[in-house]
Structure 1
Amino acid sequence: MNILVIGYVWPEPASSAAGYRMLALLDTFRRQDWHVTFASPAEKSIHRADLPARGIQEVNIALNCTSFDTFISELQPDMVMFDRFMMEEQFGWRVEKHCPQAVRLLDTEDLSCLRHARHQACKHSGEVSVDVPRSLLFSDHAKREVAAILRSDLTLMISPTEIELLTQTFKVDPALLHDSPFMLPPVTSEQQAALPAFEQRQNFIVIGNFRHAPNWDAVLWLKQTLWPLIRARLPDAELHVYGAYPPPKATQLHNPAQGFLVKGWADDALEVMRTARVNLAPLRFGAGLKGKLVDALACGTPSVTTSIGAEGMAGDHDWPQPVTDDPATFAAHAIELYTDANTWHTRQQQGWILHNRRFDFTLHADALVARLQDLQDNLEQHRLDNFTGAMLRHHSMKSTQYMAQWIEAKNRS
């Protein structure tokens, strides 16, 4: 099997959950001894993963350029995975033209149209925004993203909540979707025993890439509302704020007198999570699954989050740690976890159980490979069953092709 992955960015596992999820998908393909090529038009960051060390070929590609046509014609992949719908929009028609029999996968990371709609709702209300009106949800952004899903043979969805939204509200055929959450090794009993105990830990932690709007909003909500409530009861407590790419507006929030310490980039995110006593994830909007909560489960660090943060995280199981959208209750839960060793220990143990049940690498990797192989074996019938997708590919291929050719001609002149 020869698979091409077209990345929106180069994977940065230390910067975002999307980065280490992408690596898990790439490792899944390599475990099958498939030949994997990762191509991206993005600039290479110093924080990107070493893909060649994993046996993955790296290729730089250009937007709106016929050089991609030559590249993919020579590569002739059996399968192409687009990292987020923008890459499907940009390169899907070229794949269709030069490799019509290649299976086309789309990896959403999260359903970004849902995240954007919730962001708009939160701007209006200032509150946690789970349910949003259709006037916000049925946006141009959603039309583009759902169209890309329909044009693709299969879309990998990280959250069962988003699968339900697509099938029930947008009427997407479930045969076009595959539940593919985080895929992680289990936390063994030996690893659990080696982690710092309650008494050895100190400080609250909040962590997340500052370029991701929900994370920046969470830091602001903490600074303005939640942390003062916690600090009033725990005057010596500190909140350590970590995240990749902190902008000046974030570092300016640093205030040791208030115990609000903006640390910025963490060389080892798991290490700072292991030494913290309580993880705070006050997300007022967002989508997908939250890598910071998965990391906290693995590190034995209990979390307090909102209904947005907990959404989809437990799958068919119950989320075992405090969830509330009310600021005063959020602060009360955080204080209890920080001061009550028995409650903390119970939440920690429940977290490990959920982590190992929900995010088992082998279970989800095997299910994904089986689905892809079945898809490849039955591709012709699968596409016949998806007339809407064929119709969209017919029309979008022409419009996108002409736009790309116009841009390319303009760039040459």
Structure 2
Amino acid sequence: MSNSNLLIIGFVWPEPNSSAAGSRMLQLIEQFQKQGFDITFASAAKPSQNTFDLSGIGVKTRAIVLNDSSFDIFITELNPEVVVFDRFMTEEQYGWRVAEYCPNALRILDTEDFHGLRKARELALKDGVEVTVEHLQNDTTKREIASIYRCDLSLMISEAEIEILTKQFKIDRDLLYYLPFLLQPISEDEIKELPTFEDRQHFITIGNFLHPPNYDAVLHLKQTIWPLIRRELPKAELHIYGAYESQKVSQLHNEKQDFLIKGFAEDVNEVMQKAKICLAPLRFGAGLKGKLVDAMQNGTPCVMSSIAAEGMFGEMEANGFIENDAKAFATKAITLYNDSKIWHNKQENGFTVNNERFNKTSFESEFSQRITDLKANLKSHRQNNFIGNLLQHQTLQSTKYLSKWIEAKNKTKYY
């Protein structure tokens, strides 16, 4: 008997070495494979040199086109039992086609993070104020929440985001599912193999430069925080790693200031293990931060902003210090760099958080059961989501006919 088909429609092709989103996607693929699905990953994006080889883990791939009825033929022939949309933008493009041609398929939105929250924080930062309800009710939020309602289940990576969606926007908790990073526990033997406090030197920060919060954090380090640290630690260097380094990033490189743009890290574990401290002064953003996971897994304590730390530690102790004020941030970074006892304590916190809070085996059976239950009770589940039915009826009709108009326009030759 053949397995059921599951289709993932990717906003981009997964790049686990470039972004946390890429790692997250591979974690989801592993979970769905364990549930017995045959997986096809389709995307309209162009692959890059950093694209993961999905065929190597038994996942079929398919290039698809935006605003083109070829997708309708493809999905009808595949006839998936489950369709996963990678971020709300993909659901906007393909959701109506899935609903029309595979109406009985379970529709899952993998939010990656709450994009509307990130946008709200960016707007508030530009305004120089705290985030308000007005900031939260931005156009991105409206589009994303509409997508959440149109889907049967939305995977949320952060408990903090679930709280905002349920309390601020009154979204039914039954439409949201908490599924954070799903990590492999770190063994005692692996911990013993890590470089010691004495073997490490310098500071590190890492993050995809295409992601605006990461670039803003590097600028914040350059202009405000790093000069304060370097004044007390003149021999220390800051190594900045990230994929997709642009000219505006390259121009920040300054050897006299030991502010060193290193570009793409071929092996994030290697560069993280060499560093003594990871800095993450994010001033806006959402979701869970892959850089903090990399740091915890490699025994590198962090100094981070509250936005960087959000959703990561729950009631547990952080693997470092959480500070938003630049001077306090720099002071804690200097303390952590110099004090072996504090450093080891924070490192141990990181191992505990990784192993107890994000151990993938803690989530597998419950997630599998949730998918099974939804498939078995899809009709009643959808009947309880009236706003979703309303949006399927109204919003997607406009999306549908706009897409059809674009397709017709693309086929027209103008001479």
Q: TM-score range by the shorter chain?
A: over 0.9
The match for 2:13 among 1, 10, 32 is 10
Q: CA deviation at 1:397?
A: 2.3
Query: Is the contact made by 2:119 and 2:138 (CA closer than 8 Å) also made in structure 1?
Result: no
Q: CA deviation at 1:320?
A: 4.2
- The answer to whether 1:266 aligns with 2:269 is no
Query: Aligned residue for 2:239?
Result: 240
The match for 1:29 among 29, 32, 37 is 32
Task: Extract structure 1 runs of 4+ deviating beyond 4 A.
Answer: none
Query: Aligned residue for 1:102?
Result: 105
Query: Aligned residue for 1:154?
Result: 153
TM-score normalised per structure 2: 0.97
Paired with 1:264 and 1:305, the residues of 2 have a C-alpha distance of 21
Query: Aligned residue for 1:249?
Result: 248
Paired with 2:194 and 2:137, the residues of 1 have a C-alpha distance of 46
The match for 1:73 among 72, 76, 79 is 76
Q: CA deviation at 1:207?
A: 0.3
Query: Aligned residue for 1:183?
Result: 182
Query: Aligned residue for 1:226?
Result: 225
Q: CA deviation at 1:321?
A: 2.0
Paired with 1:146 and 1:263, the residues of 2 have a C-alpha distance of 38
Q: CA deviation at 1:365?
A: 2.7
Deviates more, 1:176-185 or 1:28-37: 28-37
- The one-letter code matched in structure 2 to 1:276 is A
Paired with 1:379 and 1:388, the residues of 2 have a C-alpha distance of 16
Paired with 1:201 and 1:346, the residues of 2 have a C-alpha distance of 16
Paired with 2:286 and 2:198, the residues of 1 have a C-alpha distance of 34
Correspondence 1:50-129 to 2 at 5 A: 50-125=53-128
Q: CA deviation at 1:362?
A: 1.5
- The one-letter code matched in structure 2 to 1:312 is G
- The one-letter code matched in structure 2 to 1:70 is I
- The answer to whether 1:42 aligns with 2:41 is no
Query: Is the contact made by 2:27 and 2:182 (CA closer than 8 Å) also made in structure 1?
Result: yes
- The one-letter code matched in structure 2 to 1:111 is F
Query: Aligned residue for 1:196?
Result: 195
Query: Is the contact made by 1:30 and 1:55 (CA closer than 8 Å) also made in structure 2?
Result: no
Query: Is the contact made by 2:302 and 2:319 (CA closer than 8 Å) also made in structure 1?
Result: no
CA displacement 1:361-395 (0-9 Å, x = unmatched): 12123322121111111111111110110110111
Q: CA deviation at 1:256?
A: 1.1
Q: CA deviation at 1:29?
A: 1.0
Paired with 2:156 and 2:349, the residues of 1 have a C-alpha distance of 25
Query: Is the contact made by 2:6 and 2:80 (CA closer than 8 Å) also made in structure 1?
Result: yes
Paired with 1:68 and 1:246, the residues of 2 have a C-alpha distance of 34
Counting aligned pairs with the same residue, the percent is 53
Query: Is the contact made by 2:154 and 2:177 (CA closer than 8 Å) also made in structure 1?
Result: yes
2:262 is paired with a residue whose SS is strand
Deviates more, 1:343-352 or 1:24-33: 24-33
CA displacement 1:320-355 (0-9 Å, x = unmatched): 420011111100110011111111011101110111
Q: CA deviation at 1:62?
A: 0.4
Paired with 1:364 and 1:146, the residues of 2 have a C-alpha distance of 25
Q: CA deviation at 1:316?
A: 4.0
- The one-letter code matched in structure 2 to 1:200 is D
Q: CA deviation at 1:258?
A: 0.6
CA displacement 1:192-225 (0-9 Å, x = unmatched): 0000000000110000000000000000000000
2:16 is paired with a residue whose SS is coil
Query: Is the contact made by 1:5 and 1:36 (CA closer than 8 Å) also made in structure 2?
Result: yes
Paired with 1:320 and 1:200, the residues of 2 have a C-alpha distance of 19
Query: Is the contact made by 2:317 and 2:349 (CA closer than 8 Å) also made in structure 1?
Result: no
Q: CA deviation at 1:134?
A: 1.4
- The one-letter code matched in structure 2 to 1:228 is P
Deviates more, 1:188-197 or 1:320-329: 320-329
2:368 is paired with a residue whose SS is helix
Paired with 2:273 and 2:358, the residues of 1 have a C-alpha distance of 19
Query: Is the contact made by 1:14 and 1:20 (CA closer than 8 Å) also made in structure 2?
Result: yes
Paired with 1:165 and 1:158, the residues of 2 have a C-alpha distance of 13
Query: Is the contact made by 1:15 and 1:244 (CA closer than 8 Å) also made in structure 2?
Result: yes
Paired with 1:412 and 1:319, the residues of 2 have a C-alpha distance of 56
Query: Aligned residue for 1:406?
Result: 405
Query: Is the contact made by 2:42 and 2:63 (CA closer than 8 Å) also made in structure 1?
Result: yes
Paired with 2:242 and 2:319, the residues of 1 have a C-alpha distance of 25
2:239 is paired with a residue whose SS is strand
- The one-letter code matched in structure 1 to 2:50 is H
Unaligned runs of 5+ in 2: none
Query: Is the contact made by 2:296 and 2:319 (CA closer than 8 Å) also made in structure 1?
Result: no
What value does the CA root-mean-square deviation take over the aligned residues?
A: 0.9
2:321 is paired with a residue whose SS is coil
Paired with 1:375 and 1:315, the residues of 2 have a C-alpha distance of 28
- The answer to whether 1:139 aligns with 2:142 is no
Query: Is the contact made by 2:319 and 2:349 (CA closer than 8 Å) also made in structure 1?
Result: yes
Paired with 1:62 and 1:241, the residues of 2 have a C-alpha distance of 36
Query: Is the contact made by 2:303 and 2:321 (CA closer than 8 Å) also made in structure 1?
Result: yes
Paired with 1:289 and 1:69, the residues of 2 have a C-alpha distance of 34
- The answer to whether 1:216 aligns with 2:206 is no
